[in-house]
Structure 1
Amino acid sequence: MSGATITMAGDITFAKTTSDGPLFTIDGDDIIFDGAGFSFDGNGADYWDGEGTNGGVDKPHPFLKFKGSGTYSDFTVLNSPAQAISIGNSDGLVFDSITVDNSDGDTDDLGHNTDGFDVSADDVTIKNSVVKNQDDCIAINDGSNIVFENNQCSGGHGISIGSISSDKSVSDVTISGNTVTDSMYGLRIKVKASATDASVSSITYSGNTLSGIDEYGVLITQSYPDDEGTPGTGAPISDVNFTGSATTIKVGDDAQRLVVNCGACSGTWDFSELTITGGSEGTVSSDDATISGGSY
């Protein structure tokens, strides 16, 4: 499919299924998709059991999958069984004014692994969107030239680079003008301790505002899934910066402001536009990286 213009004419609700997922896929070049304010409803309550994709009821994931190139705008994703939107194999994709609303999954903590956007692609922009969920607002797992700007995230695990697995690289990412509220984490770079032949480089944060963060304002770790375990060395991190306009983070009393847990980090990292208040001081072990500026 190439050059198609698609306009939604109504809401779409998916019945419970045993399919692995995705339940809806578009793969084409130069697609213009206008949601016209309508919604995709995944009936998440029929699946949610607090286990997510780690066990319990089988949950189709991702709910929606987009590949190729084009512009997608003005639709809502409701109640995804697990991960909401997966973006892969991109040749230039823009997502504008998308809402992912899994807030019903907050009931009894039943929603789990309900990532808003999972990105493994090059040349992707996500902007002016809203995510309410119980996991990462966005997780950038692989790819380059990725922009995440002017979005609102609440209730989940904040904005993440990773988790980075073996043979995956993330570079040239700009995270700017976003708001994160009432979330477990703020901003994270998470690299698996076991990862090899992988890397993270050229990550820029600018003008983000975060509040109500429960555990870490900023966490940069190479020991994932442990937050502060023994870091691996097979996936170096370089060139992480808080520049441009101010990124301000307010964390809760029991949170740590900044934790850096590196086994293989390098370069000079400019944190001059980062301010974190509240909570307690975290441990900064930056290996060969030099961190300058900022208040945390």
Structure 2
Amino acid sequence: MKLLTLLTTSFLCFSHATAAIISPPYANTTIPCFFSGSTGFDRLSKRNSSCTNIILSNLLVPAGVTLNLNNLKPGTTVTFKGKTTFPYLPTGWSGPLLSISSSSNLTIRGLPGSSLYGSGEFYWDGLGQNGPIPKPKFFQVHKLVDSVIEGVKIVNNPMHVFSINGCRNLMVRGVTVDNKAADGDWNAGKGGRNTDAFDIGQSSEVRIEGARVWNQDDCVAVNSGTNITFCNGLCSGGHGLSIGSVGGRSDNTVRNVLFENSVIANSENGARIKTKHSTTGLVSNITYRNIVLQNITKYGIVVDQSYSPPTKNAPPTNGVPITGFTLVNVTGNVLPTGTNIFVNCGDGSCKQWDWQGVEVKGGKKSSKCLRVPAGSWC
């Protein structure tokens, strides 16, 4: 099967990046600092700035408190071993559960069999960020430079997982987001919502390799940034691989993004670009290459320049041009109730598109496409 072939075959990950990712040493050779259980958290909060080889073994983080690993010394290694637990807080809170920010040359790794458990099942109500109590975001990665995150497994995240912002030259490798238990009927007040796996903003030279994601929202959402690569990944159950929504933020430029050699299965969308109605910005040089779609429920490929929640049926606007949109070997199926391709462009704002080897079948052909540019179809 093509799906299995793509998942089990090793591919080279190409990149739009102008500089290679710099990988810090895999493991710090200094004497390790061990922190375990509930007492380990108290000790860690007093010593994390002085340790450069931190091992967290079955750590129990107090409810409603961030595991703060900010401002670590350059070259520090943080290793997760066993189960790191973030308990439920009945009154809710916004998080993050874990923050590793404002440092450089870090290695953050999860050992085989380790996990970071977010107690999401106690928060899920089908409402996500609109629920009666706030839900914590999981993993804040801000202003991290020349660093690696690898082998980390997230289980039962309450809401958004990785918030990557203001980072440069960051490698995320072999990460798993397992939120399968959050599947549920939102209308019945069940299940996780707004459970984005990777939200990326204001960052450059970010590469995500070999991610395995089971969630209920965007697998990846690039809201701003340059030279971003996602490859050899699996995205299941969510909203696919997305650019945007772009517009209405302090930074509204997305440039040089590559999604490659990945599978999007049982998801609402496959490849998606969405820009906000009546805003300004730029989306440029976006490539989806060797992407397999499987059982997509809504849109196999969708470009929408009318995004304006909560308003529906707003007209597309041209303040955020989408130029240089390339699809190569994007294939697979949409369910009969879905739509294969939908393009909804503003006046003159979609240009220089090049689609080759695109074969998306099984769903409906849209009759509502607008201003489809040369080099593409609907």
TM bucket (normalised to shorter chain) is: over 0.9
Q: Which runs of 5+ in 2 are unaligned?
A: 1-71
Equivalent residue runs for 1:176-187 within 5 Å: 176-187=260-271
Distance of 2:275 and 2:156 partners within structure 1: 28
Q: Which runs of 5+ in 1 are unaligned?
A: none
Letter in 2 for 1:145: N
Contact 2:126 2:184 in 1 (8 A): no
Distance of 1:267 and 1:107 partners within structure 2: 39
Q: Provide Cα deviations, 1:38-97, integer angstroms capped at 9, x if missing partner.
A: 111110011111100023221012x10113121111111111111011111111111111
Q: Does 1:100 find its partner at 2:181?
A: no
Contact 1:124 1:147 in 2 (8 A): yes
Contact 1:3 1:30 in 2 (8 A): yes
Contact 1:265 1:286 in 2 (8 A): no
Contact 1:137 1:153 in 2 (8 A): yes
Task: Pick the aligned partner of 1:118 from 199, 208, 211.
Answer: 199
User: In percent, how many aligned pairs have the same letter?
Assistant: 36
SS in 2 for 1:291: coil
Letter in 2 for 1:90: C
Contact 1:202 1:239 in 2 (8 A): yes
SS in 1 for 2:239: coil
Distance of 2:340 and 2:196 partners within structure 1: 23
Contact 1:216 1:251 in 2 (8 A): yes
Q: Does 1:21 find its partner at 2:21?
A: no
Q: Does 1:34 find its partner at 2:109?
A: yes
Give the superposition deviation at 1:108: 4.0
Q: Provide Cα deviations, 1:10-38, integer angstroms capped at 9, x if missing partner.
A: 21110123332111111211111111131
Q: Which residue in the other structure is 1:195 paired with?
A: 279
Q: Which residue in the other structure is 1:43 paired with?
A: 119
Distance of 1:266 and 1:193 partners within structure 2: 14
Q: Does 1:257 find its partner at 2:333?
A: no
More strand by share: 1
Distance of 2:313 and 2:340 partners within structure 1: 14
Contact 1:79 1:101 in 2 (8 A): yes
Letter in 1 for 2:104: D
Contact 1:49 1:56 in 2 (8 A): no
Distance of 1:266 and 1:132 partners within structure 2: 32
Q: Which residue in the other structure is 2:374 paired with?
A: 290
Q: Which residue in the other structure is 2:76 paired with?
A: 4
Distance of 1:268 and 1:234 partners within structure 2: 17
Give the superposition deviation at 1:225: 4.1
Contact 1:86 1:118 in 2 (8 A): yes
Equivalent residue runs for 1:222-233 within 5 Å: 222-225=305-308, 229-233=314-318
Q: Does 1:90 find its partner at 2:162?
A: no
Letter in 2 for 1:82: M
SS in 1 for 2:106: strand
Q: Provide Cα deviations, 1:147-182, integer angstroms capped at 9, x if missing partner.
A: 010100111111111111224111100000010111
Measured on the aligned residues, the alpha-carbon RMSD in Å equals: 1.7
Q: Which residue in the other structure is 1:242 paired with?
A: 327
Q: Does 1:168 find its partner at 2:249?
A: no
Task: Pick the aligned partner of 2:158 from 71, 81, 97.
Answer: 81
1:172/1:165 CA distance change after superposition, 3 Å: same
SS in 1 for 2:374: strand
Letter in 1 for 2:156: N
TM-score, L = length of structure 2: 0.73
Distance of 1:225 and 1:186 partners within structure 2: 20
Distance of 2:316 and 2:161 partners within structure 1: 30
Task: Pick the aligned partner of 1:55 from 111, 114, 131.
Answer: 131
SS in 2 for 1:53: helix
Task: Pick the aligned partner of 1:159 from 234, 241, 256.
Answer: 241
1:80/1:189 CA distance change after superposition, 3 Å: same
Q: Does 1:220 find its partner at 2:303?
A: yes
Q: Which residue in the other structure is 1:141 paired with?
A: 223
Give the superposition deviation at 1:228: 5.9
Q: Provide Cα deviations, 1:244-283, integer angstroms capped at 9, x if missing partner.
A: xx21021010111111101152322111121111111124
Q: Provide Cα deviations, 1:87-121, integer angstroms capped at 9, x if missing partner.
A: 11111111111000111111444211101111112
Moved over 3 A (4+): 225-229
Q: Which residue in the other structure is 1:127 paired with?
A: 209
Letter in 1 for 2:332: I
